[in-house]
Structure 1
Amino acid sequence: MLWNKGFKCTAVVRRLIPWVLMTNIMLVLYCLKTTNHVNIRPTQEETCPLSMAKTNHAILSESSKPKQKCSPKVNIMFMKTHKTASSTILNILFRFGEKHKLKFALPDRRNDFCYPQPFLRFQVKDYKPGQCFNIVCNHMRFNHQEVAKLLPPDAVYVTILRDPVDLFESAFHYYHRAVPLTWGISGKNKLTEFLNNPEAFYSPEAFNSFYLKNLLFFDFGFNNNLGVNDPRIMEAIHSLSQRFHLVLIAEYFEESLILLKDLLCWSMEDILYFKLNARRTSSVNHLDPEMRVKALQWNWADWKLYEHFNATFWQKVEAYGRERMEQDVKELRRRNAEMRAICVDGGDAVEAQKIKDTCFRPWQPVGEKSIMGYNLRKDIDPKWKTICGKMLTPEIQYLSDMGVNLWVTRLWGWLKDSIF
């Protein structure tokens, strides 16, 4: 058994285990079914670059091109990491892609690409060997060789990181009920109990344990259990620095968007946003300095990853120009405030139970309703209704609107909400 020897299930937990395991076994079997029936031996003929003679800059209509020297980039790989404000970036990409009729590589029957399995291109909805896409952006465990076969050679690779201590706190809150080893943690502050003795509630082979250690490293396809001095940590970071053109930083979200706009040659209108999938403040466990140190040590690989790309981020800000950045951030905030006044009833996010329209109700973690969302203004000007609605739409509902049949995700949601 993967549970600790001293762990005793309560009657409630014993009833939950079969449901949780059954659902996850179903997800694994589904992913195996969708990948095993296809010959996955890579051939040159199956790759996007050889199937596509030219890039897709012409997809944008002349009227939509900004009056500037560069051409808007439309071939994009966004590596969507967990608990990093990536849902907000996803919404920006969805809106841009829809507006310009770009081709998305979408998941099939669920909202991710069979995570936590490494990504395979055959996990893409209706994929056929040799197909080319403009945008890949849903949750996956990164596998560059497979992703590259979906995109033209000029594709821009972007991702986002977050301070690993804050990310760990957020991930623990969101996922710990899905990690059976943590069910035996006693006390009101389970996170503190975990950090005081993490090895007692963690095993690398345990079910869903990857959520609780170096989650960023895991998302990028690396071993999340490497020791502090393991040279493979820096090797992995170097590898990512060769793959990604821009790494955004969640703590500097607006500056990140300005750099993204500049890299992609987009307009300010293209990066307007409302913060999606955010937790209510009262649910955040603010760690004291001692616990932060323990969380950092526990997530050392993620810390080194963040440390490296935080430094490169500010190098890019310097190259962009500090004064220019400040002006652009100020303009972005002004434009966002205008959209908030136009779109959002009450002007701000509300708790889940206060969201009136289910179209705008975000997915909630197991056993809680801590993720906030928005209500669309009732008296909204008709000319703004469509864009406002899209800006407020959470990931699951947006994917449904884009034609993805999410029966696996919805089944798990129904089980989760029924049991907990």
Structure 2
Amino acid sequence: MGRQACRVSQGGRFRGGHRRLSPGCRLRRRQLSGFEFSRPTPALVVHHYERCCVMWGWGMWLRFTCVFAIISVYELNASGHLGLALLSFFIACCTVYSAPGEVRKSPLNGHATAIVTHIPPLFTQLTSFAVMCALKGRKCTLMIRCLIVWVSLTNVLLVMYCLTNPTRQEMWASQEDTCSSRLATLVKHNASMPDQSPACSAKVNIMYLKTHKTGSSTLLNILLRFGQKHNLKFAFPKGRNDFYPSPFQVSQVKDYRPGDCFNIICNHMRFNHHEVAKLLPPHAMYISILRDPADVFESAFHYYHTTVPLTWRISGEDKLATFLASPQTFYHSDALNSFYLRNMLSFDFGLENNLEADDPRVITGIQELSRRFDFVLLMEYFEESLILLKDTLCWTMEDVLYFKLNVRKKSSVSHLSPEMRAKALRWNGADWKLYQHFNATFWNRVEAFGRDRMERELKELRRRNDEMKSICIEEGEAVEAKDIQDERFKPWQPVGESSILGYNMKKSIDPKLRAECEKMLMPELQYLSELGVNLWLTQVWGWLKDKVVLF
């Protein structure tokens, strides 16, 4: 019907002041809507009822594929699910073009347009149901009401997801925008930047791989104090205190934007150099810490046994000895949290933790790590390691003062007999290879540093540490958690236990030293909170762990 048919009829208006349309215009509108607004016949009712049901079914399927595809695209940079995203769009498009002819041609159905523009067809579907219910002459059933609520909910959730993930679009648009590339651009356009630096200036760009059960919390405290003192920028996790256990991704970093540069990254993670390098300037220092794998295994077995279901079916008082007698009986590589029970250090460093020690991939991985890391400390020689770290980073003695944090009470430590130690090292053979390699490099550095010089600096470090203990710590030693008076200094405890020691701070301290004492005594979670990290996920888990009886 042409445009001429929809002119206003000559001769006035309807009652109420509305314009009266010509007969041709009214017919055209009835054709566009697909319904005659006269009294429907039974055959017409059945036809439109079936039609609306088919449209609703196709609409629900298209909604599901649309939402899944959109979320896959938003998560593309973080998880690499390009195949899933493309597959979802492919399925959605195939669904549109394979739908019944009357559904695709229906003026009530806007799904094909919605797929392309990401506009959910909510109002189209609700209109279809309204017409259907009017034709049937009955109220919506409970099922129909639930479906309407479900469709509305998916729209709300999708909008909320997009609004709460503003970085996804930026990351999609500039996947290669990294800290190094941005700094290179600045250098290129700023010829006045200095090209020389002092022979030894303090290093402030540091990647610290915080490994498990290696005394790493003590070293973390040193780095947090140094970064806070020099107003450095930390790359912290979002909502929790670690990036673990999935391989590290830049999308896990709080307030990250593509191209942002950070000075220090120091929380637990599974190392992923490609992603870590996006955060740090070129020539950043990569450091970590290792410990004898037999001792790591003993500590991890007791600390994490309540969160590793593999250990729940081990009977007897000495579960550790029972496990080491026949590890393959209890261990399954694909079980929940199984990485805590085998080659955990290799897992932290981003290597495969279920390889045997003689696997060529173990040696290749260790060689690659040796090229990446500038210095790896040893827990057994922690003070010597700090002296070498101070020298490597051009720091001062004041920067590496410390108190031991996150230490277990002696009664909770199992003594490993020579036989059990040998079994633990065989079971963690890849970790043993890793430790042997960096143990050799460590002593090479000690020789290069000089034995006499090392002894002199060790004496100075111990003197300064003893001095700080006498100033800060009540009674000069650690106490059990139940005896800690200030909540700020209570450490995180494993599930079902209270084996981690902490400190009481002296009340009469020189005001000039009080702040420094508080920082040196403060456990990891409290320090992160003080630095502005929102640990709501960790806090919820802590509340459940402490207030609810899980075991």
TM-score interval, normalised by the smaller of the two chains: 0.7 to 0.9
Distance in 1 (alpha carbons) for counterparts of 2:275 and 2:382? 29
Distance in 2 (alpha carbons) for counterparts of 1:229 and 1:318? 30
Q: CA deviation at 1:250?
A: 0.5
Distance in 1 (alpha carbons) for counterparts of 2:213 and 2:488? 22
Pairing 1:331–2:460 present: yes
Alignment of 1:190-205 (within 5 A): 190-205=319-334
Pairing 1:47–2:178 present: yes
Alignment of 1:7-406 (within 5 A): 35=78, 38=168, 45-52=176-183, 53=186, 69-113=199-243, 115-406=244-535
Distance in 2 (alpha carbons) for counterparts of 1:391 and 1:201? 41
Q: CA deviation at 1:43?
A: 5.6
Unaligned runs of 5+ in 1: 1-31, 55-64
AA aligned opposite 1:181: L
Distance in 1 (alpha carbons) for counterparts of 2:231 and 2:293? 36
AA aligned opposite 2:201: S
Distance in 1 (alpha carbons) for counterparts of 2:398 and 2:350? 33
Distance in 2 (alpha carbons) for counterparts of 1:363 and 1:104? 22
Q: What value does the CA root-mean-square deviation take over the aligned residues?
A: 1.8
AA aligned opposite 1:81: T
- When residues 180 and 34 of structure 1 are mapped into structure 2, their CA distance, relative to the original with a 3 A threshold, is farther
Distance in 1 (alpha carbons) for counterparts of 2:231 and 2:377? 25
SS for the counterpart of 2:269 is coil
Distance in 1 (alpha carbons) for counterparts of 2:173 and 2:230? 31
Distance in 2 (alpha carbons) for counterparts of 1:416 and 1:326? 45
Distance in 2 (alpha carbons) for counterparts of 1:135 and 1:156? 10
SS for the counterpart of 2:505 is coil
AA aligned opposite 1:99: K
SS for the counterpart of 1:116 is strand
- When residues 194 and 312 of structure 1 are mapped into structure 2, their CA distance, relative to the original with a 3 A threshold, is same
Q: CA deviation at 1:41?
A: 6.5
Distance in 1 (alpha carbons) for counterparts of 2:363 and 2:76? 35
Aligned residue in 1 for 2:5? none
SS for the counterpart of 2:211 is coil
Distance in 1 (alpha carbons) for counterparts of 2:453 and 2:174? 46
Distance in 2 (alpha carbons) for counterparts of 1:330 and 1:413? 40
Aligned residue in 2 for 1:18? none
Deviation string 1:127-179 (CA, Å, 9 cap, x unpaired) is: 00000000010011100000000000020000000000001000111101100
Aligned residue in 1 for 2:91? none
- When residues 356 and 146 of structure 1 are mapped into structure 2, their CA distance, relative to the original with a 3 A threshold, is same
- When residues 117 and 83 of structure 1 are mapped into structure 2, their CA distance, relative to the original with a 3 A threshold, is same
TM-score by length of 2: 0.66
Unaligned runs of 5+ in 2: 1-74, 80-164, 188-196
Distance in 1 (alpha carbons) for counterparts of 2:335 and 2:329? 12
Alignment length, in residue pairs? 376
Distance in 2 (alpha carbons) for counterparts of 1:288 and 1:367? 26
AA aligned opposite 1:247: V
Q: CA deviation at 1:419?
A: 2.1
Percent identity of the aligned residues? 65
AA aligned opposite 1:140: M
Aligned residue in 2 for 1:58? none
SS for the counterpart of 2:260 is coil
Q: Which has the higher contact order (CA 8 A, sep 6+)?
A: 1
Pairing 1:412–2:541 present: yes
Distance in 2 (alpha carbons) for counterparts of 1:173 and 1:270? 33
